[in-house]
Homo-oligomer: A and B are copies of this chain.
Amino acid sequence: MIIDKLFKRVESASPICVGLDTDISYIPDFLKEEYDSISDLVFEFNKRVIDSTKNYVAIYKLQIAYYEALGLEGLDAYSRTLKYLRDENLLSIGDIKRGDIAATGDMYAKAHFTGDFEADFITVNPYMGFDTISPYLPYMLNNDKGIFVLLKTSNEGAADIEDLETEKEKKVYEHVGDYLAELSAGYMGICGYSSIGMVVGATHPEDAESIRGRYPDNFFLVPGYGAQGGKGSDIKKYMRENNGAIINSSRGILKATLGKEVTRENFGSFFEKAVLDMKEDLEG
């Protein structure tokens, strides 16, 4: 099960998930002078971030919106980055937040668990109902894939829908979570977690312990650390015995070279230091 590989990476490296939300403005000039095509430029930047951080990182998450915004060339870079991670025996999340039903859901599953855009995990949006989850399940067993379903996200707007209290004395996100928890049993790894994971934002430390307690079998993907306000000292609340969660940082890593004297030689060291600083903050 893919979740066992993730569990081991958290154990041996760290719970850090590096978010490759690559914006052209994060890329140093010397690299821009070297590559003419957007695809080459973005891929080469990602490759250097990966190469210089891979020993301290559990998994890499690609936010597909950044690549879509660069058009066909951007998606070429997305595809090449996922392939590079696979070739290097590293784990990947396609942060695609897709959610659709029936034949359309099947197409998204095929699109992101096979072919040009194949990732180990993807993120899934459950708004349309639980038939948005089912298209991914066969791939989890047959192709060793996993999902992280949006539960309680890190943004302020999480209160608008996810936190609504329903007449069944459950919040909307608890309806989603309780359904997933029940479904999880069929997709358990030997590590004690299911390949059905949940997205739980780092900006809700007051709820973290109760969510962790309610869903002990589910791995959490935790966005919102750093720039959005999530604190390293709260992260333990999302974990169980120092595992069971991955903590995402995107801009905190990718923007590490901005405002620095960057050269071809020292370039990677800024990303390495940013990840090591984050590791220390999480462990502190």
Contact = CB atoms under 8 A, between A and B. Distances in A.
A202 B63 CA distance: 33
Interface in A117-140: 117, 125-132
For the complex formed by this chain, how many copies does it contain in all?
A: 2
Given A69-B108, A125-B127, 12 more contacts: A21-B104, A69-B110, A71-B79, A71-B111, A72-B116, A97-B99, A128-B150, A129-B156, A131-B160, A161-B172, A161-B176, A166-B172
Main secondary structure of the interface of A (DSSP, over half): helix
Contacts of A99: 97, 125, 127
Interface of A: 21, 63, 65-66, 68-72, 75-76, 79, 97-105, 107-108, 110-112, 115-117, 125-132, 150, 153, 155-162, 164-168, 172, 175-176, 179
A166 B159 CA distance: 13
A207 to B, nearest CB: 16
B72 A161 contact: no
